[in-house]
Amino acid sequence: MKPAAFDYVAAETLDEAVSALARAGGDGKILAGGQSLVPMLNFRLLRPSILIDINRIRDLGHVDATADVVRIGALTRHHALETSPLIKAHLPIMTAAMQHVAHLAVRNRGTIGGSLSHADPAAELPMMAVLLDAKIKIRSLHGRRVAEARCFFTGSLTTDLKDDEIVTDVEFPRLLPNTGWAFEEVARRAGDFALAAVGVTMSVHNGTADRVRIGMTGVGETPLRASEAEGLLAGKAVDAQALEAAASAIEAAVEPNTDLHASADYRRFLVGALARRAISVAWQRACGA
């Protein structure tokens, strides 16, 4: 199918883009990498009156780091994240996760701002944002605001973004030295969306797990944190018993959907198995193994 007719503007600046979006009165759409938007237009699941292309705006494609955070511009392509030495040094779990995102052709165009705004419930970057407590920076004609990633994703393909708002940057706190991490995913074929994926970061304090974070995608309407399992592991050595308790808590907490690709039961089984693996690898890395 072909999309319904729309107007098109190629914004040269952020001010131009937010003005055009405000003028559209809720009927405009930002065009970033187009990897999710264009199929939705072609299937006529969306019929915006105007597309506001942000690809010509300078300074939205940066990756830089301060002492505390890595700042990623909304137009940064997935492939740039996958290959960035800065990301590898400060957020190695993201480098690992990006290798599971789609195929190279899609990673060459898709952007972090598009992925977070699109909010696919099986996507990797929204899960990274929730796992790593990212802050999402947002602009509209009325000014700027910052959204905590944990509050940003409100449902499947639904976020806290208003019709007239644009994501400009995402700030990820750098992983502290000696942080153990792991990312585990199962998809039907390489490049497909995850059936389930789990990301874990933790450190070791006095021989026990500390600052434990567990994120999941593909097993709910939004990316999730496994808060109960995080609490069960904190302050304990990660032995077989602790691992089993955490994985069981995760299996009990999730409410996956059955769809064309997998049953809810299979997804629940998968997320438990992936959590066992990811927690174990993160612990070993944190212990310096």
Ligand X SMILES: Cc1cc2nc3c(=O)[nH]c(=O)nc-3n(C[C@H](O)[C@H](O)[C@H](O)COP(=O)(O)OP(=O)(O)OC[C@H]3O[C@@H](n4cnc5c(N)ncnc54)[C@H](O)[C@@H]3O)c2cc1C
Which residues contact ligand X by CB under 6 A?
29-37, 74, 78, 101-102, 106, 109-111, 113-115, 117-118, 120, 123-125, 161, 166-167, 193
Q: How far is the CB of 160 from ligand X (least distance, A)?
A: 11
Q: How far is the CB of 10 from ligand X (least distance, A)?
A: 13
Give bridge partners of residue 146 from the DSSP assignment: 137
Measure Cα distances from 240 to 127, 152, 184, 245, 277 in Å.
Answer: 26, 35, 19, 9, 11
Check: CB of residue 125 under 8 Å from CB of residue 101. Answer: yes
Q: How far is the CB of 111 from ligand X (least distance, A)?
A: 3
Check: CB of residue 205 under 8 Å from CB of residue 212. Answer: no
**Residue placing its CB nearer to ligand X in the complex, 95 or 117:** 117
Q: How far is the CB of 250 from ligand X (least distance, A)?
A: 21
Q: How far is the CB of 182 from ligand X (least distance, A)?
A: 18
Q: How far is the CB of 85 from ligand X (least distance, A)?
A: 22
Helix axes 240-253, 264-286, angle to 10 degrees: 140
**Residue placing its CB nearer to ligand X in the complex, 162 or 205:** 162
**Residue placing its CB nearer to ligand X in the complex, 34 or 92:** 34
Cite the beta strand spans of the chain per DSSP E.
7-10, 28-31, 50-53, 63-65, 69-73, 135-140, 143-148, 153-155, 158-159, 166-173, 180-186, 196-205, 208-217, 224-225
Nearest to 205 by CA among 286, 276, 269, 262: 286
**Residue placing its CB nearer to ligand X in the complex, 192 or 210:** 192
Q: How far is the CB of 149 from ligand X (least distance, A)?
A: 14
Nearest to 254 by CA among 267, 244, 241: 267
Q: End-to-end CA distance of the chain, in Å?
A: 53
Q: How far is the CB of 288 from ligand X (least distance, A)?
A: 31
**Residue placing its CB nearer to ligand X in the complex, 137 or 213:** 137
Contacts of residue 64, Cβ cutoff 8 Å, sequence gap at least 6: 70, 71, 86
**Residue placing its CB nearer to ligand X in the complex, 161 or 238:** 161
Check: CB of residue 248 under 8 Å from CB of residue 223. Answer: no
Distance CA 25, CA 23 (A): 5
Distance CA 61, CA 112 (A): 10
Distance CA 264, CA 219 (A): 8
**Residue placing its CB nearer to ligand X in the complex, 14 or 86:** 14
**Residue placing its CB nearer to ligand X in the complex, 160 or 251:** 160
Helix (H, G, I), strand (E, B) or coil at 203: strand
